[in-house]
Chains A and B, each alone.
Chain A
Amino acid sequence: SQKIEQNSEALNIQEGKTATLTCNYTNYSPAYLQWYRQDPGRGPVFLLLIRENEKEKRKERLKVTFDTTLKQSLFHITASQPADSATYLCALAGSSNTGKLIFGQGTTLQVKP
């Protein structure tokens, strides 16, 4: 069955450092991959989307890579700030018009000042 794995352990880093979160998947060939941010008690918020034929996508301090051979995506936050502390979810989708996504369980990032 399709499986998405994100590091279940919280990631603790110092302010100003680069945070790197990992998303691995098996038994799936997604057309694209998305990353979301979720704060406690709130709904997820979309951050970035990367297609299967793209290697890298950037948005301000965020960078996402997508390696379909390794079946892995890396999510980087450069110059991290305490306000970046949240849970980050990756989501995979096929190419149907339903827009259905399969979400990972998320990785919690804690940026310490």
Chain B
Amino acid sequence: SQTIHQWPATLVQPVGSPLSLECTVEGTSNPNLYWYRQAAGRGLQLLFYSVGIGQISSEVPQNLSASRPQDRQFILSSKKLLLSDSGFYLCAWSAHYSLNEQYFGPGTRLTVT
């Protein structure tokens, strides 16, 4: 069966510090991968998606970047965090064709102080 992992679970970082969140998927190959951010009481905002290794599409201009160094690994990064980067970050995967549901990881709660 497929599983998706995210770490860390929680993170408190000062403004201006770097960020690296990692997501890995097991039990499937060539998945579509997604990074979302969820502000408190809000819906999910799609940040990045990837349909293959090295293929990253950005949905909104921001202080973040994403990379996919391996088929089932998706990394979210920032060189300098802003207060507005605080939120709940979720990674998800779906099978590599349309109409399939997305499976979400447990999420990372990021607080920028």
Contacts and interface: CB of A to CB of B under 8 A. Distances in A.
A97 B90 contact: no
Given A34-B101, A46-B101, A97 B107 contact: no
Contacts, number: 71
Contacts of A51: 99
Given A43-B92, A44-B104, A32 B46 contact: no
B44 A89 contact: yes
A97 B51 contact: yes
A100 interface: yes
A99 interface: yes
A98 B106 contact: no
B78 interface: no
Interface string B30-59: 001010100001111010010100000100
Interface residues on B, range: 20 to 34
A99 B99 CA distance: 7
A94 B88 CA distance: 25
B14 to A, nearest CB: 23
Interface in A71-101: 89, 93-101
A49 B104 contact: no
B101 to A, nearest CB: 4
A105 B43 contact: yes
* 6 cross-chain pairs, A with B, having the tightest CB-CB distances, nearest first: A43-B104, A105-B43, A46-B101, A103-B44, A99-B94, A103-B43
21 contacts: A31-B99, A41-B88, A41-B107, A41-B109, A42-B107, A44-B104, A89-B43, A95-B98, A96-B98, A97-B51, A97-B96, A97-B97, A98-B51, A98-B98, A99-B32, A99-B34, A99-B49, A99-B97, A99-B100, A99-B102, A102-B46
